[in-house]
Amino acid sequence: MSATRVYRARSVGASSADADPITTEVIRHGLNSAAEQMKRALIRTSFSPVIYEILDFAAALYDKEGRMLSQAPSNPLFMGTLDFCVAGATDAIGGEDRWSPGDIVLINVPYLTGSHQQDAGVVMPAFVDDALVGYAVIKAHWQDMGAKEPYCTDTIDVFQEGLIFPGVKLYESGRRVDAVYEIALANTRMPEMVGGDINAEVVGVRTGASALEQLIRRFGSEVYWRSVERVFDHGEEVMRRGLGALPDGRYSARGRMDSDGVGDDPVEFEIVVEIEGSDVTIDFSGAPETARGPINCPLPSTVAVSRVAIAMLAGRNEPPTDGHFRPLSVITRPGTIFDPEPPAPCYLNGWLAMQAIDVIHRAFADAAASVIPAGSGGCICGAIWWGDRPGDEPWSDSTGHPIGQGAHAGSDGAHSLMHLGEAASRFASAEVFEARYPLLWQRVELAPDSAGAGCFQGGLGVDASLVALEDAWVTCVVERTAFPAWGLQGGESGRPNAARLVLPDGSSQPCSKVTGLHVPRGAALEISTGGGGGFGNPSQRNPAAVAENLLDGYVSLAFAQRHYPHVVVPSKTERVVET
């Protein structure tokens, strides 16, 4: 068994004791505004709906030490991976002394970025008076990267997953390196779309670097750096207050993937959480060996899911900074599914990452039952479509589907939201989808009876159906079809996820994990997303809540009679009565 390694946030910087609190707050908001400007610039100039509609990207600013200053709300799963992009890009060009104003480095090595190659990172340094002061970073999803298919569930090594940029200058001193740009376009099936998105990322990081430089010049370096250290210290204080309220102890939970994408056997794993005072350690070292299929989750993403999980638990809804993660340590073992080594396939790393967030919260539930929700549908139930256009490049786009969220003490679960790991991303717009592609939404509706019963009931999943108006192909990535959302404190499970292709003749086939499935004209992809788990014993549910759910159509009479017999009395009048 290989040795473990421990990842912690960077050491505390200079003292922030003399930082003026009002100036610090202005600078903090200035940094958040700069990250938001990056996001808006990317959205306005990108070509792909997966970026400007779904928000499958991250945009953030870092200081010269590679500590996160601010990140615009977008894809939480990318949170905390971009510092690895900065470090990887800096190492790739030979160290920070090799950065020059106007440089932009392109990097998409999964083990350095935490993503598959289609999530390409661009890193740009910021300079004030010839001194390196920080970085602007964007990681965004390119629609095609020259993998064996436009999207894959069955790769067995990283070389099947698309073109790799190990950290090369796309721009050098402000001038584009045409050879790198042309190589990128020569290795995609959709050069116009990818070229547009590359340029949009460039616009975004230039916007962020410029805003950061202007902020520092406005306040002066000495005032700015003192305030930044105070921002980091504040983030640490917030997190430690939240975590310090939890009882010390060692807690664990188990998760399970339906398969690794290549074989049919489930992949089980355990995550251990240790709480000591206000310090938290999340231990992945007991994970199974690297999977043959592409579910492996690289170290940067494993660190990121740990950060997302504790930020959602104790971060008090504040925009995160590097300081928020100082109380956290992450333990992994190289050569496992949570710390794979080259050339392990990583294409579906995000699906294991989502399970990890849920399992971390499940482990915390034993220590924090009042704040931890029951399980969610546990997946984004992704569908990636493409097709041919005579005389033009292929069309392609992708969408996730919302799920039911778990109930918690004091409240029912939310209906039809994206998974926590994608919480700031969005369900694809039907209008945009139908206007751009030969696809028609037949239905998207809440699914009655899909939630787990409980004193507080889980949120509902969704039933969706998308019809192909022309011959097309689709890759489906739907997890947790055999492992539904768990209930807590006596609450019951929600329904699992499911997907099937219904052919024009009425026959159908399941397609939860499938690559390049042919969808003939008139066929429909039907996806049923999972409901959230319930919280507390169903026998304690408020009769008024049951009556309201029946009236709204969220549950059927049969569901209510089965799970809430203390409220619903079967009779000729089918009355709902209080006992």
* Domain boundaries defined on the chain: 13-234, 373-541
Closest of 261, 252, 310 to residue 286, by C-alpha? 252
Closest of 221, 238, 59, 23 to residue 139, by C-alpha? 59
Q: What is the pLDDT of residues 57-115, one digit of tens each?
A: 999 999 999 999 999 988 888 878 999 999 999 999 999 999 999 999 999 999 999 99
Q: What is the pLDDT of residues 205-232, one digit of tens each?
A: 999 999 999 999 999 999 999 999 999 9
Say if strands 5-8 and 439-446 run parallel, antiparallel, or are unpaired. unpaired
Contact call for residues 239 and 315 (beta carbons, < 8 A): yes
Amino acid at 404: G
pLDDT at 12: 63
Q: Say how far apart CA 220 and CA 451 lie, in whole Å.
A: 54
* DSSP label at residue 265: S
pLDDT at 576: 54
Q: SS3 of 71, please?
A: strand
Contact call for residues 479 and 538 (beta carbons, < 8 A): no
| CA 54 to the chain's CA centroid | 12
Q: What is the pLDDT of residues 270-308, one digit of tens each?
A: 999 999 999 999 999 999 999 999 999 999 999 999 999
Helix, strand, coil in percent for the chain, rounding step 5: 30, 25, 45
Q: What is the pLDDT of residues 119-163, one digit of tens each?
A: 999 999 999 999 999 999 999 999 999 999 999 999 999 999 999
The CB density around residue 256, as the number of other CB atoms within 10 Å, is 14
* DSSP label at residue 543: H
pLDDT at 13: 64
Q: Say how far apart CA 412 and CA 339 lie, in whole Å.
A: 36
